[in-house]
Amino acid sequence: MSIVIPSYNDVELLREALRSIEETCVNVDYEVIIVDDYIDAAVQARLREFESPRVRVVLKDERLGFAGTVNIGMKLAAHDIVLLNSDIIAKPGWLEALQYSAYAIDPRIGMVSPKLVYPDGRIQYAGTYYARLLAPQWFGHLHVGSPATKLTANVAGYNASISGACVYITRAAFDLVGPLDDGFWLGFEDVDLGLRAWERGVRCYYQPAAMLVHYESASRGYSQGQRELASMRRFWRRWESQSLARTISDDAPVTFVIGEDADPQWREYAGALSDAIAQTGRDAEVRVIAASAEDDIVDGLAERRGIAVACDSASARAVWLAGTAGSLPVYLLPAVESIWHPGDSARQSEIIAGYRSEFDYIAPNRWTARQLQAETAWEARRRVAPAVLPSPLPESTSSCVVSIGADIATRAAIEEVCHATGFVASHYEGTPLRDEIADARPRAVVDLREHQSSLVPFALMSVGAVYLSRSDPRLAHEVLDGYNALLHASGDVQQLASSLTDALTDPVVHDELRSNGHASASRAAIAAAHGVVDALLDFSRAPV
């Protein structure tokens, strides 16, 4: 193991860094290569005091900046490389966690960065992201200033780039990608290295189980000096076409990717959108992903180099990875999916951490868009209410009333109304398929479940029954009381019974509501197809 440390008049910091390495790498065969960039005789004399069988000090005659200094050390390294700043204090287990990530998770991983924290325990680095919505000329650090215990900051995963303050580079990755670009004097050289790695098929990774203290100034922000700005300009001359000025052809293929365990109605929606896009003459398809075949999907998307649409959290990582290979990554949100896993903080954190800045988001409603921004700071660029085009409105209904998700008390109230009006109630615990409900031709559907989007309500409206549900502000723009639905306050069984009685006994109420519900679902399905097509065109032409 070769640990390369650039030095710039930092003897005391360097002394503490070396001590922490010695204490945490007792059972590791390593060398330390210190490269001086301060070029001062007195400082160089003090640096020589660190020399030992394991520590080598390299002196030079001129200042080269961070990248040029680091490159001298990396070219002298004979093993895997750890690039480490001198203002770092290593914590126990850091190197083992980095090595494990580099070799035991994915053979394509070649660069791994740890979690870096300030001395007070706040996060300094927890992954790299493109700051497109905050300052699109910069790349930023995720979770800066948050406590080190923040759950989403402790989810390991693929990283948009690396941190030059600490990164583990396998020998194979270094031989393939090469050293830092020494044309960068200060800033962007580490991001550039990570992006070049992705470009060559080497994946970058973030491993929070490896933690180090970093004394970098906690007040450093986006305001930079002339050298940093010069590095920024150099960076964008190289990468502008892939970020700031990236465009995708208007006829680029579109692939909707969805998990194999996705809700059948959401999968039907993805298929309907794919069909709508195909009708415009574009190549569009749906691919179902299994975790065991993720790389096959990623490689296939990379070959298509079009728009890849993640339809759920199970497909998000594959689509994001496809984005590193040139696809345009889009996230069609069914909801902020962490809400589906109450009590499972690990799964919730994993889902939220999977919402990345590089995605363009399409939210199903305002509530989801606001929740996404609250959880991640990322904005949904479009809102499209999901719906699937229904079959024609049936001419008549049966004597059946369907309830879905009703508790015992609500079931009893529904049974009582049905008995009094000559109807028969059928109760479902789970989520029946739309066709199953449609075949029963119910006069009314009482839906007591919570929904994160309009997809299921519109599907149930479309079967030709009166739709009754609890009032939900998340769906206030699609499920309209007295027009296409009859709503009651949550827990108000008496109000539900009164509305159901009206739906069953008043032909005017029944005919208008079922007709309006079916028409609403039809209009929403057409609008959804147009909305998603327009959104994809917009994302293709204006990436930032």
Q: Of the ranges 137-146, 184-193, 306-315, 395-404, which is most confident?
A: 306-315
The domain defined by 2-242 folds into: Spore Coat Polysaccharide Biosynthesis Protein SpsA; Chain A (3.90.550)
Between strands 166-169 and 157-158, the pairing is unpaired
**How far apart, in Å, are the Cα atoms of 494 and each of 416, 418, 488?**
11, 14, 9
Q: Over the stretch 362-396, which tens digit does the pLDDT of each residue have? A: 999 999 999 999 999 999 999 999 999 999 999 88
Q: What is the C-alpha to C-alpha distance for residues 119 and 95, in angstroms, rounded to an integer?
A: 19
**pLDDT at residue 137, rounded to an integer:** 85
Burial (CB < 10 A; 0-12, 13-18, 19+), residue 273, is: buried
Residue-averaged pLDDT of the chain? 94
Q: What is the C-alpha to C-alpha distance for residues 282 and 65, in angstroms, rounded to an integer?
A: 49
**pLDDT at residue 26, rounded to an integer:** 94
Residue 132 has pLDDT above 90, yes or no: no
- The domain spans of the chain are 2-242, 254-383, 400-524
- Beta bridge partner(s), residue 212: 90, 116
- Please tell me whether residue 395 adopts helix, strand or coil conformation: coil
| C-alpha gyration radius of the chain | 29
Grade residue 185 by pLDDT with cuts at 50, 70 and 90: confident
Contact call for residues 388 and 268 (beta carbons, < 8 A)? yes
Residue 402 has pLDDT above 90, yes or no: yes
Q: What is the C-alpha to C-alpha distance for residues 267 and 269, in angstroms, rounded to an integer?
A: 5
- The beta strand positions in 10-103, using DSSP E, are 31-36, 55-58, 81-84, 88-90
Q: What is the mean pLDDT of residues 58-69?
A: 95
Decide yes or no: CATH 3.40.50.2000 for domain 400-524: yes
Work out the number of other CB atoms within 10 angstroms of the CB of residue 420. 12
Domain 254-383 in this protein, CATH class: alpha beta
Establish whether domains 2-242 and 254-383 are of one fold: no
DSSP string, 99-151: HHHHHSS-TTEEEEEEEEE-TTSBEEES-EEE-TTT-TT-EEETTTTSBTT-G
Q: Over the stretch 426-467, which tens digit does the pLDDT of each residue have? A: 999 877 778 888 889 999 999 999 999 999 999 999 999 999
Over the range 90-102, which residues count as b (16 or more CB within 10 Å of their CB) and which as e? bbeebbebbbbbb
Q: What is the mean pLDDT of residues 470-490?
A: 97
Of 291-300, 375-384, 522-531, the one with minimum mean pLDDT is: 291-300
Residue 163 has pLDDT above 80, yes or no: yes
**How far apart, in Å, are the Cα atoms of 530 and each of 68, 429, 520?**
52, 34, 15
Cα-based torsion angle of the residue sequence 317, 319, 322, 327 in order, rounded to the nearest 10 degrees: -150
Angle between helices 493-505 and 408-421 (to 10 degrees): 30
Q: What is the C-alpha to C-alpha distance for residues 15 and 20, in angstroms, rounded to an integer?
A: 9
Nearest to 112 by CA among 157, 176, 67: 157
- The HSE-up count of residue 363 (CA atoms within 13 Å, CB side) is 20
Contact call for residues 82 and 2 (beta carbons, < 8 A)? yes
Amino acid at 229: L
